[in-house]
Amino acid sequence: MAITEHQQTPRILVAGCGKLGGAIASQLTGMAKVYGLRRNPDKVPEGVHALGADLMVPEQVQSVLPDNLDIVVYCLTPASYDDKGYHNAYVKGLQNLIDALDGHRLTRLVFIGSSSVYAQDDDSWVDESSSTEPARYSGQAI
């Protein structure tokens, strides 16, 4: 379903409203009511409804989620670039958000990850049909 086909203004949550997520949220503000979730809500772009919570703390996430979300864009950056950081960002954080969304009737959940989920590391072409057999922890977590 395209955003323009929606009968009411869509309600979109960008979880991980940092550099990339903030740019996405800003682009969507003209066509939707957009919420930006990050640990430091003061850094959410202007025009985006700021929500402050740490996705590692389920109670915080549950307490700030607005009602009736239509779309979630999950766009986290790991707090640390090691196995634990990737697991927290791409597994635990996502699970905590999904648990908090219980009862929401989303039309889409968009997960923004990394090309490290693919095994190729030789500059070969990678697309949707490429095998996802990552050798490194970062791709395995995602």
Domain ranges of the chain: 16-115
What 3-state class would DSSP assign to 87?
Answer: helix
d(C-alpha 124, C-alpha 134), whole Å? 14
This prediction's pTM: 0.86
pLDDT tens, 48-65?
A: 999 999 999 999 999 999
pLDDT tens, 116-136?
A: 787 777 888 888 788 888 877
Residue range 16-115, CATH number: 3.40.50.720
DSSP letter, residue 66: P
Asked whether the CA dihedral 55, 52, 116, 25 is positive or negative, the reply is positive
According to DSSP, the residues that pair with 74 across neighbouring strands are 15, 111
pLDDT tens, 67-116?
A: 999 999 999 999 998 999 999 999 999 999 999 999 889 999 999 987 67
Asked whether the CA dihedral 46, 92, 61, 41 is positive or negative, the reply is negative
Give the N- to C-terminal CA distance of the chain in Å, as an integer.
26
Quick one: pLDDT at residue 5? Answer: 54
d(C-alpha 61, C-alpha 41), whole Å? 13
Give the long-range contacts of residues 58-64, CB within 8 A, separation 24 or more.
Answer: 58/96, 58/99, 58/100, 61/37, 61/96, 61/97, 61/100, 62/100, 64/37
